[in-house]
Amino acid sequence: MANPNFDTFNRAGTIADQASFDVGLRAHMVRVYNYMASGLALSGIVAFGLFSSPDLAGLFFQVQAGRVVGMNMLGWIAILAPIGLLLLVSFRAATMSTAAVQAVYWTVTALMGVSLSLLLFRYTGASVARTFFITAAAFGALSLYGYTTKRDLSAMGKFLFMGLIGLILASVVNMIWPSGTMSFIISAVGVLIFSGLIAYDTQRIKEQYADAWGTDALEKIAVFGALSLYLDFVNLFQFLMSFLGQERE
């Protein structure tokens, strides 16, 4: 893995360049975190709006006595659409404009609110709020570690990616043949994987800034970085809910 500051002195060899790089990096990370926080806020607004309005929820879910008992066609589209959009971004990232990437980001975070609303229907508001703040605290600590550590996390990133593939396959199998024990294992492994990905992705965002320093691609890179951290946060939150969530009676 390249040192996040690897190219600064090579380009000009001056302290002024290093200082400019450091200031720019901090501003870039703030931009990434602002995008991420705004995405989480949008998801939360959508989720709470669906939970609070039976008419809106009825467009996506079959709701009886305050519980979701089934999915409508629009609900399935809203839940599966983010996967398609993320695949589109992964294949077209280099050719997409900044505006297009931003549009995909806000669309994904809004649609994710539909999925997250299911947590509000299933768990008590107090347990959702408590788990959210625990997730936020864990995210802050892990992201800070990824930002400040001198350790190369690239090898860990490869291991986490392989673990993520295994987690997805195990989740599919568990959907076909449900098992309480398997669900517990999947949730525990999911917490570990996405905790590691938060630190890894934070370090990777620093590297991406170093590669793009001085170019006009920084805004698009900031959105991609925010999307990575947003997905890490949301997945960690959902897996923690399986441990900490208190179901409604």
Q: List, for residues 26-71, the tens digit of each pLDDT value.
A: 999 999 999 999 999 999 999 999 999 988 999 999 888 778 888 8
> What's the domain range around 214?
8-244
- Residue 100 is assigned to a structural domain of this protein: yes
Q: How far apart are CA 58 and CA 8, in angstroms?
A: 55
Reply yes or no on whether the pLDDT at 7 is more than 70. Answer: no
pLDDT tens, 99-152? Answer: 999 999 999 999 999 999 999 999 999 999 999 999 999 999 999 999 999 999
Flag whether 2 is in a domain: no
Burial class (CB in 10 A: 0-12, 13-18, 19+), 76: exposed
The dihedral sign for the CA sequence 236, 238, 239, 243: positive
Q: Reply yes or no on whether the pLDDT at 9 is more than 70.
A: no
Distance of alpha carbon 204 from alpha carbon 195, whole angstroms: 15
Sign of CA dihedral 157, 110, 138, 24: positive
Does residue 1 fall inside a structural domain? no
Q: Nearest Cα to 78, choosing from 110, 106, 48? A: 110
Question: pLDDT band for position 74 (50/70/90)?
Answer: very high
Q: How many residues does the chain have?
A: 249
The alpha carbon of 239 is separated from its chain's Cα centroid by a whole number of angstroms, namely 13
Check if the beta carbon of residue 200 is closer than 8 Å to that of residue 156.
yes
User: In this predicted model, which residue has the larger pLDDT, 93 or 228?
Assistant: 228
What tens digit of pLDDT does each residue of 145-198 get?
999 999 999 889 889 999 999 999 999 898 888 888 899 999 999 999 999 999
3-class secondary structure for 8-60? HHHHCCCHHHHHHHHHHHHHHHHHHHHHHHHHHHHHHHHHHHHHHCHHHHHHH
pLDDT at 15: 58
Per-residue model confidence (pLDDT) at position 205: 94
- The reply to whether 115 falls in a domain is yes
pLDDT at 129: 96
- If we measure between CA atoms, which residue out of 90, 73, 85, 135 comes closest to residue 111? 85
In a domain, 93, yes or no: yes
Amino acid letter, 78: A
| Separation between Cα atoms, residue 204 and residue 225, nearest integer Å | 8
pTM (two decimals): 0.89
Quick check: is 249 in a domain?
no
pLDDT band at 14 (very low <50, low <70, confident <90, very high): low
**Listed residue (230, 168, 239, 235) closest to 201, CA to CA:** 230
Number of domains in the chain: 1
Separate counts of helices (H) and strands (E) for the chain: 9, 2
**Amino acid in position 27:** A
Residue 25 lies in a domain: yes
Report d(CA 88, CA 90) in Å as an integer: 5
CB 106 within 8 A of CB 39: yes
Q: Please determine, for residue 12, whether its predicted confidence score (pLDDT) is greater than 60.
A: no
- Residue 212's H or E segment, with its range, is helix 180-212
- Asked if the structure places residue 3 within a domain, the reply is no
